[in-house]
Structure formats: C-alpha cells, structure tokens
Amino acid sequence: MRGRFLGSMISVAVVAAAAGAMITMWLTGTPGQAQNQAAAQTQNARPATVGGKPNFSGIWQANNEANWDLQAHAALPAAVTQPGVYPYDYARVPAAPVLALGAAGAVPGSLGVVQGDGQIPYKPEALAHKKENADHWIDRDPELKCYLPGIPRAMYMPYPFQITQSTNKIHMAYEFSNSARTIHLDKVEGPPDDTWMGHSVGHWDGNTLVVDVTNFNDRTWLDRAGDYHSEALHLTERFTLMSPDVIWYEATIDDPKVYARPWKIAMPLYRRVEPNMQLLEFRCNEFAEEFMYGNLRKQQLVKHWEGDTMVVDITRKIPAGDAFYEWYGR
Amino acid sequence: MRGRVSSLTMTAVAAAAIAGAISLSATRTTAQAPAVPKTPWGEPDLQGIWTDETATPFQRSPRYANQEFFTDEQRAELDKQRATLLGRDKRGERGTELDVSGAYNAEFGIVRRTGKRTSMVVDPPNGRIPALTPEAQKIAAADKAFRLALLQSTQTCKNKLRGCEGGQYDPKPTARRAEQPARYNTARMNRHDDPEDGALADRCLTIGLPEFGAGNGGGSFRRIVQTPGGITMYYDVGQGQGWQRNIVMNGSPHLPPSIRQWFGDSRGHWEGNSLVIDVTNFSPKSDYRGSRENLHLVERWTRMGANTLEYQATIEDPAVWTKAWTVKQEFVKQNDEQNRIYYEPRCIEGNIGFPTEMRNARLEDADFAKGKGPDPLTHDNATGFGEDDPLQQ
C-alpha cells in the first residue's frame, strides 16, 4: 500500500518537473493553511527531484523517544535511577545527579523502534555490558560529553538535521555538535582512519536511497539506555519518501562482535515545515565544559544551602574505570 | 589576464543587477563571463573540495609596498628561505620551558609554496588592514597589558623573548592574577584557573569566520555541496577541527539580533556567477582580530574555471576598523575521489591536553600553597608556540 502511494506521488512529480516547472512545490494544503503554506513555498521551495531521483533536501527531525531507548519501555523517573524506599525496580527514584531536574529529567515512554520482536539481539556477555553502561549512563554516554553522536544515533537525536542533495553527493549536517557526513554516490576512497560518523557510500534502489556505512570506531552509542556497538559495526540504511514531508527511515545494524544477528530499526523522519526553519548552532562542547572540567577549576562553583536559598549538594561517585581519563584510555 | 577576468565578472554582476531579482538560473548573465561549470539545474557549480594551495602574506610587507604581485624571482627566493622550515627541529635549550613549548615543531605544520600575491588583503590597495578605531586600540592595549602582566615574572620576559614583546620583567608576580579580562577571553593566557582561561583553540571552540587558512598551522579545506535552492559547506581546518555552514538561500532576513552564533548567520544569493553571502549575528564570544558581535562579512564565491574558485571577503565593523577591508584568495579544486577532507571535528573527543593543563595547574597551586614549589606565575605556559615563517611576520 505504501509502495503504491509513493510510486504515484513520485511519478506525478517527475511529470510535473518534465513539463517545465523548475521548482515544483511539494507542499499543497487546505485553504485554512494557505497563508503559512504560501510562505513556506516561497521560502523553502524545492524541486521534487534532483537528477531524476526523489529530492530529500530540507530540514528533518525524528519525533520519537528512540534517543532515550531504542527498545519499548515505560516512562521512567530518570535515565539513571537509584533504589527508593521500596525494594522494587518499579519504585526506583532518580539518581542523585539528575534529581535536581525534577520531571524534566524523566524519560518518556515508547513502543520502541526495534523491528521484529522488539529486542536487540545482544550476545550474553554484550548484554551484561549494556546493562553496566545503563547503570553508569552519566559517566559513559558520549552524548553528555558532546562527543560526535555517530550514525545511526544522529538520525534520531532530538535535534534537526539538514539534507543537501546533489547528484553525486548527499550531505547531512546535524545540529548536534556540528557533526556531519557526506554520502558518496560516486566513486570514493575510504577514510584514512576509523571514524565517529562512519564512511557513507550510497546508491539508489529505485526511489529508495540505500547507504552503506562502515569504518566506525567503538566510541559511539545508540541511545541513552547504554545500547552500544563495536568497531565492527556495519549499517545499511534505507531512505524512502512516504509523502513530501515524511521519510521512512530504516537501518539494519550488523555487528557480529556484539549482536547474535543483524537487527533493524525503523521510524519516520518529519520535515520541519516552518517557513523560517533553519539549523542553528548547538555547540555543546562549550556546555559540557563544567561537566567535564569543573572539578579542575581553581575555585569550584560550590553549592550550599544558605537560609532559604537552595543549593543542590550532590555526590556523584564515579566508579573505578569510568572517570574521564580512564574512559578515554579504554 | 587575471585583471580581465575580474572586470568581466563585474560586468556580469551589473547585468544581474539590471535584470533585477535573484536569478536561480545564471544563464542570462554568462554571455561575456568566462565559461564555468554549471549544475544540472543551471546554477554556477561550486561543488567539490577546495583549498588555497599556496601561502600568501596576510598583509603586505613594506618591502613590497607598491607591488601587488611577487615576481617569479621573489617567489623562488621566498620558497628557498621557507623550505628550511620543513623538518627543522626548533628547540630551546634542553630541559627549559622553551624547549617543551617547542614540542609543536615543524612536524605539526605544513609549508605551502609562496602564492602570487604580496598580500591577501587587496583593499585598501596598500594591502594593509585599515587602522583600528581609537576605541578598539584602547581595548586591544588593555587586553595586551593584562596578558603581559600575567607573564611579567617568567623567563620569557626575563630573556626578552617574543612572547613578552611590549612587556617588562618583574620578579614580583602581578597583583592582577585573579582579575577577569574586560572581555570574554579567546586567546591563550598565562593562567589556567578556569576553562575560560584557555584559548578557544585549546577548548575546541575555534575556528570561526572569516576563515583564510591557519597560517603555517595546517591550512583549510571546504567541501561544498549544492541542491536547487540550497548550499552547504563543510570546513576541515587546522589540526582536525571542522564545522558546517548551511547557507540560507530563501531570501529571508537575518536571524533576530537576540540570536548570536559562533559562526554567525549566513544568508546567500546568486549574483551572476558569484554566490554572495552576508554574515551577521556573531557571538560576543567569537573574535576576529578584535571584532566580535558586530562583525559583518560579505563573501563572494566565484567559480573562475574548471579547477579554480575565487574567494573574496569584505570585513566590516565600524567599532573596530576605520573602514571596511577586503581579502582575496584563490582556491584550487582537490581530488574528489581521494576525499582527503575529514568530516569530523573530533577535537573535544581527544582533548586530553586541555584538562591535563588545568590539572597540572592545580598541582602547582597546591605545591606553591605548601611552600614546596614556585609561584605558578613564574612559569610561562602560554607563549613560544609555532614556527617563524617569514611570510607570516
């Protein structure tokens, strides 16, 4: 059903483009939305195709909970918790360092994006490592340090990204941490070293963009739940336009060192249709300085209770092996 | 020849202005312009990986005062002099501070061939940056005085080394040690009390616009990808830092003044064969030669031929310079298949140096407090880096 819908949309667009409309607007709307949509059309008009292929150019964003946890999960008080007054897992409370965020530090629930049985097929020892990662989320998740997010995580972090599609290259610029990748549709040599963002080589399978991503390091994660991979990670991504403003995104995740078999995630990516949409900077390494180097200040930004003034006095005990320096050396 | 090409470009620009509006298709203006590659959708094709393959003095030396271009003999002579920089293991006396700071020797830099121009600055015609305004001079002098005060008790000042230029040795460390600089610090200073004492480069918060290649420190590459109505540039600069620019091409006005960004807000349009980008909304934490949030750039990117692209940037900030000035560079297309550009800033990811410097400073503080070590302000941890390329003086 989806395939048929897609096929007809694209063939209509191709015909329109062939008929001489240099810029064909995807956006059509009800009269009530006419004003906003007219503005969007003027400002961010895109032809339906580039070089005869569906045009993915524009600004997109996932609108789901995948960055918290790829697997299905109920809402949680925080990404990292500690035992509360009861001995039950379901009665845990936020761990001290995130306590101060209140409900803003909580984790929204999700039906998950892992296809099939919804479970990531970890090998037994890898599953133990994932659980350990989750327990030490604050010290281990590279997102908190503003490290390059890697692929696929950059595709579904809660930040927009921009696709610039040409005929031989497709560039993806992610707002988070100034990260980017170029998908090479033409012949290209591999990178000189392993990478955080992978080496992306693409081709067209009909109207679907298929991207093979390799040459990863083992430093990136898949979400805030401790899901991880090794340097043997091999991704196969598929981008298909479901409608002018929705991409159906799939990624097959293969890593024989960590998973018992390849597995797949799938989700829609939505176009940011606001007329004035543009990527802004999110240069978070500046924001993470206090987190990473605050203890090295000559005068630390100390916090106390003074009268009615609240001071969050927090103990974050970093387990052996998880301090910044040790983590780096792993 | 070069001059003729430029004047033809000007003609094309005038034609575009007469035709009015921003034209997505530049065909009507190309009758007299040099034949340049076009994208399948008819825009000038700026795509590929581009770099300045030569080294050019930023400002013109008085030695070439009336000369816009080097003669072939001058270039050959400069290349000969500069070749000695390659492989030179510049070290101070073994075991001294200077020796340690010299650890960044020629191995870390590149030496490119001398370019055609005697200066990147092409306007004013004397090839020199216009004078600073009195206000900007005052700010620069106060900033320098503060930095020199932090250095006054070091060997650098005692031995009258370049890092102490304009300063004086005083064995008694400055009383200004806990003072904050008047403006947000962007450069290396001889103090490591806080992350904010570090240079932006050391904090992985550089390099910004305008970007003219990092002297002898590594050069810069930019990958341009275009789509109808859109253009993106990815910069790979210095020793592995990088950042992106997504040029807004929809004709809308700049971001509101309340939004300030390290790399500003880039809005572009086509004028004939040139991509013209207007950049404003810079952050007060960014700094280009003293210009901060009021920096205004007008860039012109013009494809000149199969393998060349002319880059021109007009730099304006009435609070800093007495007039606007312009820099020009010629970029050469790099092998796309080889793809030596690296899309990964991966700076903070491996920045073990910066926290180590702070950690060492805390150990020095502790020793000094216990009377076991010297005052940290008698150590120079800020100057003495880099090579002495005669083109960069």
The pLDDT tens digits of the residues spanning B301-358 come to 999 999 999 999 999 999 999 999 999 999 999 999 987 777 787 888 988 889 999 9
Q: Which of A42-51, A258-267, B20-29 has the lowest mean pLDDT?
A: B20-29
Sequence-ordered strand ranges (E) for chain A: 49-50, 53-54, 58-62, 81-82, 93-94, 161-165, 169-174, 180-184, 199-205, 208-214, 234-243, 246-254, 263-271
Supply the DSSP symbol for B38.
B
Is the Cβ pair A148, B346 closer than 8 Å?
Answer: yes
According to DSSP, the residues that pair with A93 across neighbouring strands are: A82
pLDDT in tens, A222-258: 999 999 999 999 999 999 999 999 999 999 999 999 9
How far apart CA B128 and CA B126 sit, in angstroms, is 6
What average pLDDT does this structure show over A138-165? 96
Could you report the per-residue pLDDT of A268-326, keeping only the tens digit for each? 999 999 999 999 999 999 999 988 888 888 887 755 556 666 565 666 667 777 776 66
The shortest C-alpha distance from A329 to chain B (Å) reads: 10
Three-class HEC string of A192-206: CCCECCCEEEEEEEC
Determine the distance from the C-alpha atom of residue A94 to the mean position of all C-alpha atoms in its chain, rounded to a whole number: 24
Q: What is the pLDDT of residue A10?
A: 38
Q: Does B252 touch chain A (CB under 8 A)?
A: yes
Q: How far is B88 from chain A (nearest CA, A)?
A: 26
Give residues 254 to 293 of B whose Cβ lies within 8 Å of A.
Answer: 255, 259, 261-263
Domain chopping of chain A, boundaries: 293-329
B334-347 core/surface letters (b: 16 or more CB in 10 A; e: else):
bebeebebbbbbbb
Chain B residues with CB under 8 Å of A328 CB are 350, 352
d(CA A145, CA B352): 13
State whether B344 and A328 contact (CB < 8 Å): no
Between the two ends of chain A, the Cα-to-Cα distance in Å is: 48
Q: DSSP letter string over A273-295?
A: --TT-----B-HHHHTHHHHHGG
Q: Does the beta-carbon distance from B346 to A196 stay under 8 Å? A: yes
Specify the residue for token string 């075991």. B95
Q: Is the pLDDT of residue A22 over 90?
A: no
CB B346 within 8 A of CB B240: yes
Can you give the pTM of this predicted structure?
0.85
CA distance, residue A73 to nearest chain B CA (Å): 30
- CA atoms B147, B152, B156, B161: torsion sign: positive
Distance from CA of B373 to the nearest CA of A (A): 17
With a pLDDT cut of 90, the percent of chain B lying above it is: 66
**Which residues of B, range 99-128, sit inside 8 Å of A by Cβ?**
none
Q: How far, rounded to the nearest angstrom, does the alpha carbon of residue B332 sit from its chain's CA centroid?
A: 18
**Res. B131: pLDDT tops 90:** yes
For tokens 């970007």, what's the residue?
B211
Out of B41, B194, B343, the one facing A182 most closely (by C-beta) is: B343
Listed range (B3-17, B120-134, B182-196) with the worst mean pLDDT? B3-17
Pick the residue from chain A with its C-alpha nearest to B204: A285
SS (H, E, C) B244-292: EEEEECCCCCCCCCCCCECCCEEEEEEECCEEEEEEECECCCCCECCEC
| Cβ pair B39:A166 closer than 8 A | yes
CB pairs under 8 A between A and B: 162
Token digits of residue B185: 């610090």
B147-176 pLDDT per residue, tens: 999 999 999 999 999 899 999 999 999 999
Chain B positions in Cβ-Cβ contact with residue A192 (cut-off 8 Å): 340, 342
- Kindly report each contact of residues B85-90 with a partner whose C-beta sits within 8 Å and lies 24 or more positions away, as own/partner: B85/B109, B85/B111, B85/B216, B85/B387, B85/B388, B85/B389, B86/B111, B88/B387, B90/B387
Residue B14 belongs to what H/E stretch?
Answer: helix B2-19
Pick from B193, B246, B337: which is nearest to A187 by CB?
B337
Which site among A49, A217, A283 would you substitute to test the B interface, given the most B Cβ atoms closer than 10 Å to its Cβ? A283
Which tokens in the block code for residue B259? 């939004």
Q: Which of B45, B59, B166, B197 is nearest to B119 (CA)?
A: B59
Tell me the C-alpha to C-alpha distance, in Å, between residue B316 and each of B60, B310, B313, B386. Answer: 19, 20, 10, 29
The reply to whether residue A164 touches residue B226, judged by beta carbons under 8 angstroms, is: yes
pLDDT at B220 over 90: no
Rounded to the nearest integer, the mean pLDDT of chain B is 84
Percentage of chain A exceeding pLDDT 90? 64
Write down the pLDDT at residue A299.
83
Query: Identity (one letter) of the amino acid at B311?
Result: Y
Mean residue pLDDT across chain A: 85
Residue A164 to residue B205, Cβ atoms within 8 A: no
